[in-house]
Chains A and B, each alone.
Chain A
Amino acid sequence: MSNLKYIAKRLLYSIFILLGVSLIIYFLIRLMPVDFIQDKINAINQGGATVSEETVTAMYEMYGLGDNSFMGIMKGYFNWLVALAHFDLGTSFVHGIPVAQVIVEHMGVSFAIALIATVFEFMIAIPLGITAATHQYSLRDYVVTILVMIGISLPSFFFGNILKDLFALKLGWFPASGLVNATVSNSGFGLILDYLHHMFIPVLTIVILSIGPRMRMTRANMLEVMNSDYIRTARAKGLQERVVINKHAFRNTLIPLVTSLAGLLPSLFSGAIITEQVFNLPGIGNIALDAMNRGDIPFIMGYNMFLALLSVLGVLLADLMYGLVDPRVKLE
């Protein structure tokens, strides 16, 4: 019962936070100079037709961008909130379809890439972290630490481009951009293989960049656990060192790791803007970058709120997970 109460309380908090976040984002977006309407009118003008002053004003009104004073923006914000209450994120200016639909349509690619990358990240980072911790100060520890530190220090746009240059352009092993091979029509299994072929370098980029923090977290936790009294007890019981590490220590190291899994929620769905840009993938991050350049206010708003919601949920989920994994933790 108290758990439910706790969750309800946290949800209320989350709504409060999301309101604050949305207000800030909405104001920022309205201050953006990129003007979708102006672009549209320019396009019409270039086509030879002239647009009258009244039509322009009418168009601004239609898109709800007529009044750029403080009160006008506030009004626009409340309109957006009211629409949101009806589960309506508005219609994307650029795509001409509901924002929610745009997000859902492009989320798949981003999610697939992020999921594969996360699985590999955990599979590589956790054993590395444990071996570095149990062999503290050994050559192995140093090599692993240096390698992952380099990974942390690589800017994604730089490393992505290096991999692209090397594996796609120079060696030609993988396609340089996009998600499907346009010249061959594939279906079924072939299509999936084609997807994976295209995803390989982007996923590799993300994995190498993200192993570092996870590995270091594992190592630090493992070191702390290995110095605790209950590990001494486990050794005193006569357990083999292997069992001490893999059972007693690992189970405790797992607590923050599993908790951090929940914190990954936003990154699973939000798309990696830079990586998608480098490899020109039709993921949600790339779409958002495009929307920002073109002033697609409803989409930018919807996308950012989607991210904010995910990160609020991530924090909440992490807390709940913590309660689930660690028997000592009581949610209150």
Chain B
Amino acid sequence: MAEKTNKGYLTGKEIRAITKANAKEMKRLEAYKNRKAEESEFLSEMKDPKNILEIEDLHTFFFTEQGTVKAVNGVSYDVPKNSVVGVVGESGCGKSVTSMSVMRLIQGPAGQIVDGSIRFNAYDYKRNEKGEPIPKAGGKEGEFEMEEKIYDIAKMPIHEIHRIRGKQIAMIFQEPMTSLNPVFTIGEQLDEVTLIHVPGATKELAKAKSEEMLRLVGIIPENVYNAFPHELSGGMRQRVMIAMALAAEPRLIIADEPTTALDVTIQAQILDLLQDIKTKIDGSILLITHDLGVIAEMADYVVVMYAGKVIEKGTVFEIFQDPKHPYTIGLQKSKPTMTLDDSTELYNIPGNVPNPINMPDHCYFKERCAKCTAKCSGDYPGMIQVSPTHFVACHLYDEENENG
């Protein structure tokens, strides 16, 4: 039949089966996403109170006609308070999807968080019985009583998510050119953040806050406050995006490849700015990038992802000085360095990131791995602890662990 002539293509029967299964699954998850729920249903406890964000066993799938794409397949990592966590990996390894899951920005109905939890330590307004924030005794205008609450973002109904977005976690996107609404001025878009997140905020307060934020990111407010996004350069727009992210004083900023779309010189400026901000704000940064240089410069902790899974995580020193996973080692070697010896060829990891549909059970890196052993054809390796902070998912270290 068709399989013979179209090897590698799905048959009509298979497609129908996929579609049917998808429709059922998507319907169930959409209903879960849109359900009404009491707050107690999505309140949670942190495993380690020093963390601000704990992602545990997160599964985010995309239900496509060609099969289920397991873009994030059991990812776990933590973001400690006042730290910068860098997530590295090739394109399509699921690092962005993880961060989008944290913001609950995955486009439904195809994309869904299927399993896992995302615990976040929120610092929110204390509210009275009516749900109104309580003004701080003796505080200035716009200051309120605060309290800490731990939400499980993955279990939140989608209409509650505005408690988190912008106020608790802000996001800086990869494409500054298209991420600002073209028909509103920079000022309008910045003010909006304060207006929605500070109860009772006036236009004047919002404007003052916006101008303060613009100055913080090194822009003279008078020049851009009334400008439209298209009148600014890419670097300037990214600064505005950063100002916008900072405006509500979030506890966590997710920067999703903030410099990828920019010129190299501008990249350096934006990174300096992020460095600078890191010291100024009382919060953490989750930095997603494929650029190891950026990670080395910025991050305290590093998470290496490959094909929807975390394969290694540890402090920046551990990952850079003592990488364990063959993939991480390959990544380090494929970084260009200045040497006098021209003969050394730049290393590349052979092969491509596997297509995330119908993943096998064994290690996904097996085919590309130079150190692959017989054991690698077995089950997917579990996380092995090599130091208090350093974890790796590779069969090479199984014995070490057992012996040690």
- Touching chains A and B, CB distance < 8 Å: yes
Q: Which residues of A contact B (CB under 8 A)?
A: 228-230, 232-241, 248, 251-252, 255, 325-328
Contact (Cβ within 8 A) B103 A236: yes
Contact (Cβ within 8 A) B162 A238: yes
Least distance between A324 CB and chain B CB atoms (Å): 12
Contact (Cβ within 8 A) B178 A237: no
Query: In the bound complex, what is the Cα–Cα distance between A154 and B272 (angstroms)?
Result: 63
Identify which of A233, A252, A326 contacts B179 (C-beta below 8 A): A233
Asked if B175 lies at the interface with its beta carbon under 8 angstroms from chain A, I say yes
B-chain residues with CB within 8 Å of residue A251 when the two chains form the complex: 181, 183-184
Contact (Cβ within 8 A) A228 B193: no
Closest-by-CB residue of A relative to B176 is A229
Contact (Cβ within 8 A) A238 B179: no
Contact (Cβ within 8 A) B170 A252: no
Contact (Cβ within 8 A) B193 A255: no
Contact (Cβ within 8 A) A236 B165: yes
Identify which of B105, B167, B241 contacts A235 (C-beta below 8 A): B105
B-chain residues with CB within 8 Å of residue A230 when the two chains form the complex: 178-182
Contact (Cβ within 8 A) B165 A237: yes
Closest-by-CB residue of B relative to A248 is B181
Closest-by-CB residue of A relative to B254 is A236
Identify which of A233, A238, A239 contacts B173 (C-beta below 8 A): A233
Asked if B159 lies at the interface with its beta carbon under 8 angstroms from chain A, I say yes
Given contact pairs A238-B167, A328-B228, A232 touches B183 in the complex (Cβ within 8 A): no
Contact (Cβ within 8 A) B197 A252: no
Closest-by-CB residue of B relative to A228 is B178
Query: In the bound complex, what is the Cα–Cα distance between A229 and B182 (angstroms)?
Result: 11
B-chain residues with CB within 8 Å of residue A239 when the two chains form the complex: 162, 166, 192, 196
Contact (Cβ within 8 A) A328 B230: yes
B-chain residues with CB within 8 Å of residue A328 when the two chains form the complex: 182, 228, 230
Total contacts A to B, CB within 8 angstroms?
Answer: 71
Asked if B248 lies at the interface with its beta carbon under 8 angstroms from chain A, I say yes
Contact (Cβ within 8 A) A238 B181: no
B-chain residues with CB within 8 Å of residue A255 when the two chains form the complex: 183
Query: In the bound complex, what is the Cα–Cα distance between A235 and B105 (angstroms)?
Result: 8
Contact (Cβ within 8 A) A327 B230: yes
Query: In the bound complex, what is the Cα–Cα distance between A239 and B103 (angstroms)?
Result: 13
A-chain residues with CB within 8 Å of residue B214 when the two chains form the complex: none
Query: In the bound complex, what is the Cα–Cα distance between A95 and B378 (angstroms)?
Result: 95
Decide if the interface of chain A is mainly helix, strand, loop or mixed.
helix
Contact (Cβ within 8 A) B183 A252: yes
Closest-by-CB residue of A relative to B227 is A327
Closest-by-CB residue of A relative to B181 is A230
B-chain residues with CB within 8 Å of residue A326 when the two chains form the complex: 182-183
Asked if B171 lies at the interface with its beta carbon under 8 angstroms from chain A, I say yes
Closest-by-CB residue of A relative to B247 is A237
Given contact pairs A327-B228, A327-B230, A238 touches B180 in the complex (Cβ within 8 A): no
Closest-by-CB residue of B relative to A241 is B159
Contact (Cβ within 8 A) A238 B182: no
Contact (Cβ within 8 A) B182 A232: no
Query: In the bound complex, what is the Cα–Cα distance between A234 and B193 (angstroms)?
Result: 9
Least distance between A155 CB and chain B CB atoms (Å): 38
Query: In the bound complex, what is the Cα–Cα distance between A327 and B178 (angstroms)?
Result: 14
Contact (Cβ within 8 A) A252 B181: yes
Closest-by-CB residue of A relative to B165 is A238
B-chain residues with CB within 8 Å of residue A240 when the two chains form the complex: 159, 162
Query: In the bound complex, what is the Cα–Cα distance between A328 and B165 (angstroms)?
Result: 28
**Binary A-proximity of B24-39 (CB < 8 A = 1, otherwise 0):** 0000000000000000
B-chain residues with CB within 8 Å of residue A248 when the two chains form the complex: 181, 184
Asked if B288 lies at the interface with its beta carbon under 8 angstroms from chain A, I say no
Identify which of A229, A235, A241 contacts B178 (C-beta below 8 A): A229
What are 22 pairs between A and B in contact, CB < 8 Å? A229-B173, A229-B175, A232-B173, A233-B179, A233-B180, A235-B105, A236-B105, A236-B171, A237-B166, A237-B244, A238-B165, A238-B166, A238-B197, A238-B248, A239-B166, A241-B159, A251-B181, A251-B183, A252-B181, A327-B183, A327-B228, A328-B230
Residues from 161 to 213 in B contacting A, C-beta threshold 8 Å: 162, 164-167, 170-171, 173, 175, 178-184, 192-193, 196-197
Least distance between B166 CB and chain A CB atoms (Å): 3
Query: In the bound complex, what is the Cα–Cα distance between A232 and B111 (angstroms)?
Result: 15
Query: In the bound complex, what is the Cα–Cα distance between A252 and B197 (angstroms)?
Result: 24
Query: In the bound complex, what is the Cα–Cα distance between A319 and B159 (angstroms)?
Result: 40
B-chain residues with CB within 8 Å of residue A232 when the two chains form the complex: 105, 173, 179
**Binary A-proximity of B243-275 (CB < 8 A = 1, otherwise 0):** 010001000000000000000000000000000
Identify which of A237, A252, A325 contacts B193 (C-beta below 8 A): A237
Least distance between B234 CB and chain A CB atoms (Å): 13
Most chain A beta-carbon neighbours within 10 Å: one of B164, B173, B181, B182: B181
Query: In the bound complex, what is the Cα–Cα distance between A170 and B173 (angstroms)?
Result: 63
Query: In the bound complex, what is the Cα–Cα distance between A234 and B167 (angstroms)?
Result: 13
B-chain residues with CB within 8 Å of residue A235 when the two chains form the complex: 105, 165
A-chain residues with CB within 8 Å of residue B230 when the two chains form the complex: 327-328
Query: In the bound complex, what is the Cα–Cα distance between A240 and B248 (angstroms)?
Result: 16
**A-B CB proximity, top 3 nearest:** A238-B166, A238-B165, A229-B178
